[in-house]
Copies of this chain bind each other. A is one copy, B any other.
Amino acid sequence: MKIRFQPYGVATQVEPGITLLQAAQQAGVEIESVCNGKGTCGKCRIIAPHGVSPLTALEARALSEVELAQGYRLACQATVTGDVEAVVPEESRRSRVSILVDGLQSELPQDPWLRVEAVQVPEPSLEHQIGDLERLEQVRANAGLEPISMTLYALRQLPQAVRQVGGVLQLVMADQVVLEVLPGTEPPRLLGMAFDIGTTTIAGYLIDLATCTQLAVASRLNPQTQQGDDVISRIEFSERGDGLVVLQRQVVEAINAIINDTTTQAGVARESVYGITLVGNTTMTHLLLGVSPTAMAQTPYVPAFAEMRSLCAADLGIRAHPEAPAWILPNIAGWVGADTTAVILATDLQNQSELALAVDIGTNGEMALGSAERLIACSTAAGPAFEGAHLSCGMRAADGAVDAVRIGDDLIWHTIGEAPPRGICGSGLVDLSAELLRVGVVSKSGMLNSADEQRALGLPEALVTRTRGEGRQRAFMVAGAAEGAGGRELLITQRDIRELQLAKGAIRAGVEIMMRELGITADAVRRVYLAGAFGNYINPENAVAIGLIPSFPNADLLPVGNAAGSGAKMALCSASARKEAACLTSHVEYIELSGRPDFQDQFAESMLF
C-alpha cells in the first residue's frame, strides 16, 4: 500500500497494519513523538481521514472534536488499511534543522530608545476641570520634561489607568511617543524582537531591551517555501493573482508563530514586545512589506526600494504590542539585501581601519569587502549547493547529515546527531571534496578518477572500491547501504562535484573581482568573517583547499555564525546602530557581477580546484 506525506510530497510503499508513525520513519519523515508511540503524549498528530484503522479510545481522549472532524489522528495509533494521503501539521513536524542563532558574541550597544517613565497625575476638580491627558501633560511640563504624543492605544488606556492607583502611572515611551499607559508603581518589562528572514528559515530572537540580553530564540521554516525554494520562484509566484498577498501573509504568519514560541518560552506576553527589527534579502524584505519584487528578476535587477523602512508592526499584520514600531533594515541592492546590511553592521566593516572581508553563504552568497575608507559588496547565486539543493546527495544541516569527512586509509565520516547518514550538508561537502582532491580521487579539473586511475596513483583499495559507474555516471560511495538511513548507498556523483565547482567558483570569482575593484591582493586583507550556518561549521583550511576562498596569508578567519541576526539584534537594541544601518545603503558600493566583462573569465578560472 502507498502512503504519501504532505507537505513534503514524500511517498513510500508500506505493509498494511503498520502505524502511520512507523510509515513516516520508513519514509524519512520526522514526526514529534515524546512518549515513544505509547499514545499518551498526543504530540504525533497527523491528518489522515482515509485508509486508516478506526479511532481508538486513546485518540478520542487526546483529540478535540474539531480536530476529529478535520481527520486528525495520532500517528502512533492509526494503522494503515489502504492507500493513505497524510498531512503532517506544523505542530507535529520535528524541526531538527540546525539554525545558527547565536551569532556574533559582540556586546550589544547600550543605547536605549525605549524607556519607562513614572508619573503621578493629580486629581481633577470642579474648579480645574482639566482632561486626563492635559493633566498628565501639565505635570510633566511642570517637571521640565519634553512634550509627549500619545498613541490611540495608550489614550484608550488612560482614563481607566489614571483612576486606579491614585493617578500613579507607568508610561512606556519610544522617544517621546507613549505606546502604553499602565497604572501603579510596577514598571513593565521592555522586550523586543529581532528577525532574520531567510529564504528557507526564519529566526527570531526575543531580547530584553533594558539589559540587551537574549531571553529566547526560535526558528521556523519560511512557509513561502511552499511556493518555491528560491527567490526567483517566489518572485514568479508573486506575479500571479493574489500571489503577493499570499506570500506577505505567509511570512507574517511565521513571524507571529515565532513571537508566540519565544514569548511562551520566556513566559511573557506578546504585548510586551514593544519594537521589532527585521532583516532579510531584498526579495524577502519586499515580500514582507507586500511590495512587488518583480523588477529584481529582470535586468537591470532593481528593487522598488532600498532605504530603511519604519512603520507600525501591526500594519503588516504582526501581532506584538499594537503600537510597536517595526524597522526593516535597508537593502543595498536587488541582490544584496538587509541581511547583508546586518552582517556589515555586526562585523563593523564600515568602521574598520584595515581591510576585511565578510562572506555570508545562505541560499545565496553575499560578500562585502573593504574598510572605513571604501566598502563594496556583491552577490552570487551560489548558495543552494551548500544547502543541499541540486545535489543528489545534498541535504540541509540536519540530523543524519554528513558534516565532516577525513580520509586516511579509508574514508571516515561524522553526522549531525550521530544519526545514520542520510545525505551531505555544506560543511561535509567542503571537507569531502577537499579530501578527495588531496588524496587524488578527484583531479584539479574536478574529474572523479576511475578505479584504475586511482590505483595508478597508489590509493588504498578501501577507497578505490568505493568508485561506482563510469564517465559522467561515475560516483563515489561515501557510506555503504548497511550504514545509511535509507538502506541505500550514499554517493557523491560526478554531477554533484560539478555543481559544487559552479557554486564555489561563483563565490571565489566574486571575491577576486572585489579585490580587483579595490586594487588589492589577498595579503592586504586582515580579517575574514565567515557568516551563516555554513560559515560557522566549515573547516576554513578545506575551504581554502578547494579554492572557495583565496588563501589570505595575513588574515584571521573568523566564523561569526548568524551575523545577520546579530546585526538585527544590534539595530533592535540601539537607535544609533539603526542610524548607522540606515546610512549603510548609500555608503556601500554595489558591484553587479553580471555587468562586468571580466566576470565570466574569472568564473571559469575559479571553477577549477
Instruction: Find residues 143-174 in chain A having any chain B CB closer than 8 Å to their own CB.
Output: 150, 152, 155-156, 158-160, 163
- Asked if A129 and B295 make an inter-chain contact with CB atoms under 8 angstroms apart, the answer reads no
What does the 1/0 interface line of A91-129 toward B look like (CB < 8 Å)? 000000000000000000000000000000000111101
B289 to A124, Cβ gap below 8 A?
A: no
Give the Cβ gap from A536 to chain B, nearest Cβ, in Å.
30
**Given A131-B331, A132-B302, A152 and B595 contact (CB-CB distance below 8 Å):** no
Contact B156–A290 (Cβ < 8 Å)? yes
Which stretch (A255-263, A303-311, A342-350, A452-460) binds chain B?
A303-311
Chain A 274-302 interface 0/1 with B at a Cβ cutoff of 8 Å (1 = within)? 00000000000000011110110001111
Contact of A139 with B by CB under 8 A: no
Q: Does any Cβ of B come within 8 Å of A211's Cβ? A: no
Partner among B124, B156, B303, B592 whose Cβ is within 8 Å of the Cβ of A292: B156
In whole angstroms, what is the CA distance A160 to B295 when docked?
9
Shortest distance between the CB of A2 and any CB in chain B (Å): 44
Q: A295 to B132, Cβ gap below 8 A?
A: yes
Which residues of the partner chain B approach A583 to less than 8 Å between Cβ atoms? none
By a CB distance below 8 angstroms, the chain B residues around A289 are: 152, 155-156
A594 at the interface (CB under 8 A from B): yes
Task: Confirm or deny: A67 has a beta carbon within 8 angstroms of a beta carbon on chain B.
Answer: no
Given the contacts A163-B295, A294-B159, A304 and B133 also touching, CB distance less than 8 Å: yes
Q: With A152-B311, A291-B156, A292-B156 as given contacts, are A300 and B132 in contact (CB-CB < 8 Å)? A: no
**Chain B nearest Cβ from A149, distance in angstroms:** 9
Is A155 in contact with B305, judged by CB distance below 8 angstroms?
Answer: yes
Contacts of A126 in B (CB 8 A): 299-301, 592, 594-595
By a CB distance below 8 angstroms, the chain B residues around A124 are 300, 302
Cβ contact within 8 Å between B594 and A133: no
State A381–B525 Cα separation when bound (angstroms). Answer: 81
Q: How far is the CB of A586 from chain B (nearest CB, A)?
A: 9
Q: Which residues of B contact A306 (CB under 8 A)?
A: 130-131, 133-134
Alpha-carbon distance between A303 and B158 when the two chains are bound, in angstroms? 11
A333 within 8 A of B: yes
Residues of B within 8 A of A299 (CB): 126
A411 nearest CB across to chain B (Å): 45
How far does the alpha carbon of A301 sit from the alpha carbon of B129 in the complex, in Å?
Answer: 7
Given A159-B294, A163-B295, also A307-B595 (CB < 8 A): no
Closest 10 CB pairs of A and B: A133-B305, A159-B304, A126-B595, A131-B306, A124-B302, A126-B300, A131-B303, A159-B292, A132-B304, A124-B300
The reply on A590 being an interface residue by CB < 8 A is yes
Known: A155-B291, A156-B290. A130 touches B304 (CB 8 A): no
Knowing that A129-B592, A152-B311 touch, tell me 9 more A-B residue pairs with CB under 8 angstroms.
Answer: A127-B592, A130-B306, A131-B302, A131-B307, A132-B303, A132-B304, A132-B305, A155-B305, A156-B291
Which of A133, A156, A304 is most buried by chain B, counting CB atoms within 10 A of its CB? A304
Give Cα A193–Cα B302 distance, bound, in whole angstroms: 38
Q: How far is the CA of A150 from the CA of B590 in the complex (A)?
A: 24
Report the minimal beta-carbon distance from A157 to chain B, rounded to whole angstroms. Answer: 9
